[in-house]
Amino acid sequence: MMKRLPQEIIARKRDGHQLEREEVEAFVSGVVSGEFKDYQSSALLMAILLRGMTHEETGWLTEAMMRSGRVVKLPEITRPKVDKHSTGGVGDKVSLILAPLAAACGLCVPMMSGRGLGHTGGTLDKLDAIPGFSTQLDDATYRRQLLEIHQAMIGQSADMVPADRKLYALRDVTGTVESIPLLCASILSKKLAEGIDALVLDVKFGRGAFMANEADGRKLAQSLVAIASSMGQPTSALLTRMEQPLGRMIGNSLEVIEAMDCLRGEGPEDLMEVTYALCAEMLRLGGLEADAAAARTTLEKAIQSGAALEAFRQLVEAQGGDPRVVDDYERLPLTDHCVEIDAENAEPLYLARLDAHGFGQAACVLGAGRSSMEAVIDPAVGFELLKKEGDLIEPGEPLVRIHFNDATKVDRVVERLRLAIGLSPEPVAPQPLIVDRIVG
């Protein structure tokens, strides 16, 4: 086939045609080389969002992105190598708990994570809150760390999946995050380049997720599992609800603190439910446990014994962070400025809605997330949820504690939070967090 110009490829997808494999590969290589300019890449991303991609196209895109840089092989690692990925949510600090917990239970967890995307938080942004922690490891250090402590949490190096590094940032600021083919290719290209044996996915839907409803979340989960399985990667997905923020902390340092509380056995019930379920799935796919009940017992023992917390301490120290933060939270970036808000209710009412999307947007305004590629995150700021959906709220009772540094932002943040909070005179029944398990 004659090589097409970038504008010809854009026009073909704009007009609803299925791209040829060579066109998909030309797009990916052009993103890396610069032949596709940012404005052309953005145009094709929007065309893909509007016109979609077939399963075949998405597979080609995934493979081309994966092979745009170095693909890791880890034959020296004898433990089962299993990773987890979440499609993004508000207050989702599961990875910080899960990696050391799974390592303490016998797995090797080579985890490549990303920055915050849109209104959702990013694992790398949370890790950056730990003084000295480096998410950029050279290949020798990465391999040695996996051999010694069986876990690593890194960002994409310049030579690993460079196409996704560029496209990930463009999707964040061009309104194309929700595209299922682009989500699949972004997630799987990184994960399949890690050298893992199996993959567990946390596919979220709801107000705080990129997939707004269960049907779209299920479609994404099925696409991810099907594409990964077709590429020879054992994969399963849990379909989980993201209507209200997960856990009680939103904001980078605050979420690191909550993750360490979880590893001490003091975490909130909803956060631990999701963490245990994903870890159990990892242990099963890794062949270490036969069923969810046995896996849950193993995981609980690792927390009760202190092994999981010690694994987190080892992770922090191995990647240049200050391990003293595990015992002294004051060593993390924290703010001295707090204000609490209530619901302004005149009578006792039930908390019916904590809109995760609204809280995520408010976090960006506060400085805990980014609204543009060049935005700088303040790791100290964020929210502490004093109540969760279903709780009875007395008049004047505080719902949210805002940790801030810039007082000029507080009024705008409070305005957004009030819109994200809903009350009801009737009791509110909690919805199940984990909806389904999807396998290839």
| Residue 168 pLDDT class (50, 70, 90 cuts) | confident
Answer whether residue 389 shows pLDDT above 90.
yes
Answer whether residue 116 shows pLDDT above 80.
no
Residue range(s) occupied by CATH 3.90.1170.30 in the chain: 334-424
Give the residue-averaged pLDDT of 10-35: 97
Structure tokens at 81: 């190598």
Tell me how far apart the alpha carbons of residues 416 and 368 are, in angstroms, rounded to a whole number: 14
The DSSP element (H or E) to which 109 belongs, if any, is: strand 109-112
Cite the active site residues. 85, 164, 171, 186, 190
pLDDT tens, 208-250? Answer: 998 989 999 999 999 999 999 999 999 999 999 999 999 999 9
Look up the pTM and report it.
0.91
To the nearest 5 percent, what fractions of the chain are helix, strand and coil? Answer: 45, 15, 40
The CATH architecture of the domain made up of 82-329 is 3-Layer(aba) Sandwich (3.40)
Q: Which CATH superfamily is domain 334-424 in?
A: Pyrimidine nucleoside phosphorylase-like, C-terminal domain (3.90.1170.30)
Residue range(s) occupied by CATH 3.40.1030.10 in the chain: 82-329
For domain 6-52, give the fold: 1.20.970
Provide the residue type at 406 as one letter: D
Give the residue-averaged pLDDT of 100-113: 95
Residue range(s) occupied by CATH 1.20.970.10 in the chain: 6-52
What pLDDT score does 1 carry? Answer: 61
Answer whether residue 119 shows pLDDT above 70.
no
Higher pLDDT, 122 or 270: 270
Answer whether residue 36 shows pLDDT above 70.
yes
- Of 210, 275, 245, the C-alpha closest to 434 is 275
